[in-house]
Amino acid sequence: MATRKATKATAPKANKAKAPKAKKVYTAADIIFDLSKLDPELRKDIEENWCHLFAKFPERLIRIESDAKTIKGEKIGFMTAILYMAPHAISGQNLCALALLARCADPCLNLSGRGTFDVNQMARLRKALYWIQYRERFLKQLHKEIRLAKAQAERQGFILLVRLNGTTDILWERYGVPQAHADIQFYDYTKIPNRNVPANYDLTFSYSGVPQFAPFVRRAIEKHMRIAVVFRSRAAVEHYLTSGETFMGMPVVDGDDTDVRHLDPQAAVVALYAKGKAITDQSGFVVG
């Protein structure tokens, strides 16, 4: 009769659970940006609450937009990539040279007061500091991202548009950015009418009715530039569009339909309507 060979009982192996990796706690000592030129309250906020963000470089600079206007642009074949950075002098360096003169800083910032920065605004500030303090590295990353965005657009059957001054007014042509991507259409809004840009960089002058800004407006008109004007309400925009009435002697086209500005005619007014904080602006930047 066959007998079963006794086997030596072995205790089951204990599963050694791996201890979770401790999450790094960032302190002010880890911050890689110079915050000395920031508003003291803003600097304190960063050192107390945002060390984790300012201890690293941004992973991405430009983003493919998906708001209502850019989605309408996609319907006519264009994909838009935009770079947003902290506007005016929030970073300690003025990135919108004529913002004070044109009185557009306050309606642009859309902040209710100091210390109210959310994660998006902090990310924009970090990009601005990156641009100011690590320019060579910033530009290398920017060029790479533009090439990747172009490849993405082509894969999806779109033509890429790049807007580098989403919330700034930097003269990118001085840094050779549009020149390095001659097969890509760049565009921006600007308060500076005398810029010398390459053929693939389309500019729309940004109007302000503040009296001291009038010489710049006249210069833009003399150059037959397309001029973006912010009106108080959509009703005001509709009035010009339906009546055929001119503004500053120029025909008016709808600027809120899409953001594909390079297709709009020159020597025309691109009508926009005020949104957010700009609705109540009384500086002269908003018309009406």
What is the tally of structural domains in the chain?
1
Instruction: Mark the ranges of the chain whose per-residue pLDDT is less than 70.
Output: 1-20, 107-117
Does 285 fall in a domain? no
Domain with 135 in it: 35-280
Specify whether the CB–CB gap between 172 and 201 falls below 8 A. Answer: yes
Closest CA to 123 of 95, 94, 83: 83
- Dihedral over alpha carbons 197, 200, 206, 212 (to 10 degrees): 10
Question: In the prediction, which pLDDT does 224 show?
Answer: 97
Question: In the prediction, which pLDDT does 280 show?
Answer: 82
pLDDT tens sequence across 169-213: 999 999 999 999 999 999 999 999 999 999 999 999 999 999 999
Does 260 fall in a domain? yes
- The span from the CA of 114 to the CA of 43, in Å, is 11
Does 30 fall in a domain? no
| One-character DSSP codes across 56-72 | S--S-SEEE--SHHHHH
Does 86 fall in a domain? yes
Helical (H) or strand (E) element with 109: helix 105-109
Is the overall model pTM greater than 0.75, yes or no? yes
Q: Residue 67: what are its φ and ψ, rounded to 5°?
A: -80, 180
Does 14 fall in a domain? no
Pairing label, strands 252-254, 78-83? unpaired
- The span from the CA of 132 to the CA of 118, in Å, is 21
Helical (H) or strand (E) element with 272: strand 269-273
Does 27 fall in a domain? no
Does 276 fall in a domain? yes
Question: In the prediction, which pLDDT does 104 show?
Answer: 86
Does 12 fall in a domain? no
- The span from the CA of 65 to the CA of 47, in Å, is 30
Q: Which residues pair with 241 in a beta bridge?
A: none
End-to-end CA distance of the chain: 107
Q: ∠ CA 216-221-222 to the nearest 5 degrees?
A: 95
Pairing label, strands 159-163, 78-83? parallel
Question: In the prediction, which pLDDT does 32 show?
Answer: 98
